[in-house]
Structure 1
Amino acid sequence: MAQDDPLSVTFAALADPTRRAILARLAEGEATVGELAEPFDVSLPAISKHLKVLQRAGLVEQGRQAQWRPCRLRPQPLQEVAAWMAQYREFIGQSYDRLDDYLQELQQDREKEEGK
């Protein structure tokens, strides 16, 4: 994976279900590492490793307020993923339209056969 390809780094970070769950939690608001670790049956160091991957991808940043270090979601990389995916929306829509047409043809053929 090219280090200078932010989209690849973002997709790699999003590939793990634990990291996606962490992002979903952060979409609700800031949280500490301990709060993020609560729903998982893994160690704090494991959660910290996941957070480092998310930070390298630019998806999460960690602030510093006295002893409290809240994590927060950064939307920019997700906006870049959404923009990339938007390029394929028309293709996906057309594919679904073709599938719908084909299924309607099958249904009509079936109805004709049953009517005989």
Structure 2
Amino acid sequence: MNELRLIRRAAQVLAMLALLVGALALRALHADREVDGTTAGATLTGLLPVVTSLKAHGAADRAGLRVGDVIERVDGRVPQSLAQVERTMASGRHIKLAVQRDGHLANVIM
């Protein structure tokens, strides 16, 4: 049983390292996007968008998004594309984002 726990923990650590490496690599390649009057950079790693940059004191920053957050859900739905996330954020209405951060799920209301 202890071996299974060690394997599971190792898999979690490797997944976190992969996210971190991906976020760092993408940070160097990101393109800033204008979202609701604030600059927020994001890109896709695998199937889900990852926040790669935030404008200091912008709406996304004030709402609590962090660089490296993986956007798992937008208003309860898995995002189909980065463009969909950007359109929803630019809509001007309040949205709820479920983000993976430091191995935990966090909710951000924008």
**TM-score under structure 1 length normalisation:** 0.23
Of Structure 1 and Structure 2, the greater helix share is in 1
Q: RCO (CA 8 Å, sep 6+): is it higher in 1 or 2?
A: 1
The TM-score, its normalising length taken from structure 2, stands at: 0.24
When Rg is computed on C-alpha atoms for both structures, the one with the higher figure is: 1
